Amino acid sequence: MSVEVGHFALILALFVAILQGSLPMLGAARGNASWMAVADQAALAQFLLVAIAFGCLMHAYVVSDFSVLNVASNSHSAKPLLYKIAGTWGNHEGSMLLWGLILVIFGAAVAAFGRNLPPGLRARALGVQAWIAIGFYLFILFTSNPFERLDPPPIDGNGLNPLLQDPGLAFHPPFLYLGYVGFSMAFSFAVAALIEGRVDASWARWVRPWTLAAWTFLTCGIALGSWWAYYELGWGGWWFWDPVENASLLPWLSGTALLHSAIVVEKRDALKGWTVFLAIVTFSLSLLGTFLVRSGVLTSVHAFAVDPERGVFILALLIIVIGGSFALFAWRGPQLPAGGLFRPVSREGGLLLNNLLLSTAAAAVLLGTLYPLLLEATTGDKVSVGAPFFNAVFLPLMAPLVAAMAIGPLLPWKRGDLGAALARLWLAALAAAGAVFLGWAVYDGRSAMGLLGFALAAWLFIGTLTDLARRIELHAVSPRTSLRRALGLPRAAWGMTLAHAGLAVAIAGMTASSVWKEERVQVMRVGDQVTIGGYAVTFAGAGTQPGPNYDALVGQFAIARPNGSPLAVLTAEKRYYPVENQDTTEAAIRSTVAGDLYAVIGEPQADGGYVTRLYFEPLVPWIWGGVGLMVLGGVVSLTDRRHRVGAPVRQRGRQPVAAGAGAE
C-alpha cells in the first residue's frame, strides 16, 4: 500500500464531506427525505476513506518507509513495533489525521446507530459534523500533509522523541482525541437544534450518551497523560497547570457541566439555552486546546508543533466554527421556549449550582492560561501564570462544589428540603470529622488545606453511599429486598454513584500527595542510607546497561523497613537515546495503599556518587484508582438501556420497582 493511496483517499473524503455538508442540509430545510438520507451514506463513506488514509500512513510507519517525509522525521528502524505504530500519531501531521479519523468514526456511529433519531435532526447534525470535517481535511491537506514524499529517501529516520516512547503516552492521544472529538457530537446536535429552533427532552436524550462517551474518554485520556507525566518526567508531580494540560482540563470542566445540565433538559425541560451554549463551548474549548498547543501562541513543556502558518489556518477555522456557532446562538437562542420553573433548593437547583461552579472554574482556568497572551498583546510584558494562581482560584471553587455534590442527589426535583437532606448526611459529617482526625494523626505537617481536602473527600464518599442506601432502602426493608433493588437500579444511577465516589477517592489522593509529599535530593554513594516515608532506602550502586534503542544508567535502591527488615530492590533508570541525542528518566516506584516511594537516579559525580532524588507521595495510587472508578461509572452509565441509541425510550418519572423488573 503506498501513501499516495492514502493521500487520494483523504482528498476524496473532502469531497464526500462537502456533499454531506450541503445536500442533507438542503434536504432538511425542504423536507426532501432522499436528500437527507445522503448524509448516512456519506458519513459511512467518509469513515471508510479516512480509515484507508490512516491505514496507509500507519503501514508506512510499520514498514519504516523513509521515503515518506513524516516517517523519516519521526520514526527510526531500530524502534520497537509498538512505538512505530504509536509514531503514526506521535507527531503533528499524524495526530491531525487521527483527529479526523475519530471525527468520522463518530459520524459513522450516528449514521449506523442513530436510526430512530428524527430524520431532520440526524441529517442536520451529520451536516454540521461534515463542516467540521471539511475544515480539518483542508487543514491537513494544505498545511500538514503527512503523505509528503522525500527524495532521495534517507537511510534511516530521525526517531521519535524518546519521552513519547512509553506505553502511557502511546495511548494518551487517542483517548484524549476520542474525548475532544466526541464533544463534536454534542456540538453538532446543538447547532442542528438551533437551526431547527427546537430543544426538548428527546433532544437531550440523544445528546447525553454522546456527551457521556466523550467525557469518559477524556477523563481516561487526561488520567493517562497525568500518569505518564508522573512516572516519566521524574519530577514526582502529576499535574503542573501547564497550558497543554489546561487545554484538556477546560473541555473536561465544561463537558462535566454539560453532562449535568443535559439531565435537567431531559427530566425537567429547563436550562435549554444554557445547555446548548455549554455544548458549543465544550467543543470550542476542545478546538481551542488544539489551537493553543499547535499554533505557537503559548509555550509549554510539551507542545510539539510550533508553526505560525498553521496557526493562521487554525485561527480561521476557530473563527468560523466558534464565531459562527455563537452568532447562530445569538440569533436563534432567544427564540428557544423557556422551560419549567423550579425552586433554588431542588435537584435542578443543585445541578445549576454545579454548572455555575464548574463553568466559573473553567473560565478561571481559561483566563489563567490565556493571561500571558492577553498581557503580551496589550503591554508587551512576558509573564507566566503558574500553579499558585490556579490553586488559589480553582480550589476555592471546587470545595463548595464537592460539598454540594453530596447534597444534590438527595434533593427531589422541583422543590426540596435542605434541612431534611442535611439530616440524612449525619454519617457523612461524622466521616468528615473522622477523616480530619486521621489526617491529623497520620501526617506530620499541619495543613488546614490538607485536612479540609480529607474532610470533603470523606463527606462526598459517605454522602454518595448514603444516597445509594436511600435508593435501595437499606435498613427500611429486608436485606434481600435491598439487594434486589440494588440490582434493579438503573445503570445510570450506578454510574453516578461510581463516578461521585471515585472523585471522592481521587480527592483524598490529590490532597495527600500535594500537601504531605516528602522530598529528599542528595548525592549518594554505595551504602548510603536515607529515611523517607517510613522506608530506609539504601543506594546499592549503579551501572550501565544497553537497551533496544538506548543506553541506560541503572541505579539500584534497596528498600527496607526502618527496623532493617528488607522489602525490595528498586531499579531506576536514566536512558540515553543516541539517535535523538536525548535523555529520559524512568523513575522506580513502589506503590502501596499508603503511597508511592519514588526514586530517580541522576548524574554521576566526580567522587563516585550519584545525584539521587527520593520522594514519598502519600495516597497517589488513590488518584488513579479514583479516576478509574469515574471512568467505570461513565462506562456503566453508558450501558443503561435508556441511553442506548435505538432503544425505545418512554420512561416518565422514577418507578424503582418497574425499572427493577425491566433491567434484569
Distance CA 23, CA 2 (A): 32
Instruction: Tell me if 327 contacts another protein by CB under 8 A.
Output: yes
- Name which of 308 and 527 has its Cβ closer to another protein: 308
Site of grid cell 550519584: 610
Candidate residues 11, 33, 63, 312; the one interacting with another protein per rule CB under 8 A: 312
Distance in Å, CB of 18 to another protein, minimum = 25
Cβ atoms within 10 A of the Cβ of 177, count? Answer: 24
Site for another protein in 368-427 (CB under 8 A): 370, 373-374, 376-377, 382
Instruction: Tell me if 578 contacts another protein by CB under 8 A.
Output: no
C-alpha cell at 356: 455555575
- Name which of 118 and 296 has its Cβ closer to another protein: 296
- Name which of 67 and 300 has its Cβ closer to another protein: 300
- Name which of 326 and 389 has its Cβ closer to another protein: 326
Is the CB of residue 124 less than 8 Å from the CB of residue 24?
A: yes
Distance CA 475, CA 497 (A): 19
Candidate residues 118, 153, 237, 311; the one interacting with another protein per rule CB under 8 A: 311
Angle at which helices 324-332 and 172-196 pack, to 10 degrees? 30
Candidate residues 80, 197, 299, 545; the one interacting with another protein per rule CB under 8 A: 299
Q: Say if residue 179 is exposed, middle or buried (CB neighbours under 10 Å; 0-12, 13-18, 19+).
A: buried
Distance in Å, CB of 246 to another protein, minimum = 15
Total residues contacting another protein by CB under 8 A comes to 33
- Name which of 336 and 638 has its Cβ closer to another protein: 336
Site string for another protein, 253-292 (x = CB under 8 A): --------------------x---x--xx--x------x-
Near another protein by CB under 8 A, which window of 320-328, 455-463, 494-502, 632-640?
320-328
Distance in Å, CB of 376 to another protein, minimum = 7
DSSP state of 593: T
Distance in Å, CB of 607 to another protein, minimum = 13
3-state secondary structure of 362: helix
Distance in Å, CB of 295 to another protein, minimum = 6
Residue type (1 letter), 161: N
Candidate residues 66, 329, 539, 616; the one interacting with another protein per rule CB under 8 A: 329
DSSP H/E element including 535: strand 535-546
Distance CA 652, CA 18 (A): 40
Distance CA 524, CA 11 (A): 59
- Name which of 312 and 430 has its Cβ closer to another protein: 312
Distance CA 113, CA 209 (A): 12
Nearest to 492 by CA among 344, 342, 649: 649
Per residue in 271-303, is it b (16+ CB within 10 Å) or e — as a string? bbbbbbbbbbbbbbbbbbbbbbbbbebbebebb
Distance in Å, CB of 333 to another protein, minimum = 4
- Name which of 98 and 199 has its Cβ closer to another protein: 199
Distance in Å, CB of 298 to another protein, minimum = 6
- Name which of 206 and 277 has its Cβ closer to another protein: 277
Instruction: Tell me if 296 contacts another protein by CB under 8 A.
Output: yes
Near another protein by CB under 8 A, which window of 46-54, 158-166, 295-303, 455-463?
295-303
Distance in Å, CB of 279 to another protein, minimum = 12
Is the CB of residue 612 less than 8 Å from the CB of residue 528?
A: no
Near another protein by CB under 8 A, which window of 142-150, 310-318, 388-396, 426-434?
310-318
Candidate residues 151, 155, 334, 650; the one interacting with another protein per rule CB under 8 A: 334
Nearest to 272 by CA among 211, 214, 216, 201: 201
Cross-strand bridge partners of residue 69: none
Residue type (1 letter), 278: L
Instruction: Tell me if 367 contacts another protein by CB under 8 A.
Output: no
Distance CA 608, CA 527 (A): 12
Distance CA 429, CA 662 (A): 36
Site for another protein in 2-41 (CB under 8 A): none
- Name which of 384 and 655 has its Cβ closer to another protein: 384
Distance CA 355, CA 278 (A): 9
Instruction: Tell me if 315 contacts another protein by CB under 8 A.
Output: yes
3-state secondary structure of 522: strand
Instruction: Tell me if 295 contacts another protein by CB under 8 A.
Output: yes
DSSP string, 86-152: HHTTSSHHHHHHHHHHHHHHHHHHHHHH-TTS-HHHHHHHHHHHHHHHHHHHHHHHHH--TT-B-SS
Distance in Å, CB of 79 to another protein, minimum = 22
> CA geometry: angle at 72 spanning 69 and 76, to 5°?
165
Candidate residues 388, 581, 607, 652; the one interacting with another protein per rule CB under 8 A: 581
Distance in Å, CB of 299 to another protein, minimum = 4
| Count of alpha carbons within 13 angstroms of residue 427, beta-carbon side | 10
Interface residue list for another protein (CB under 8 A):
273, 277, 280-281, 284, 291, 295-299, 306, 308, 311-312, 315, 318-319, 322-323, 326-327, 329-330, 333-334, 370, 373-374, 376-377, 382, 581
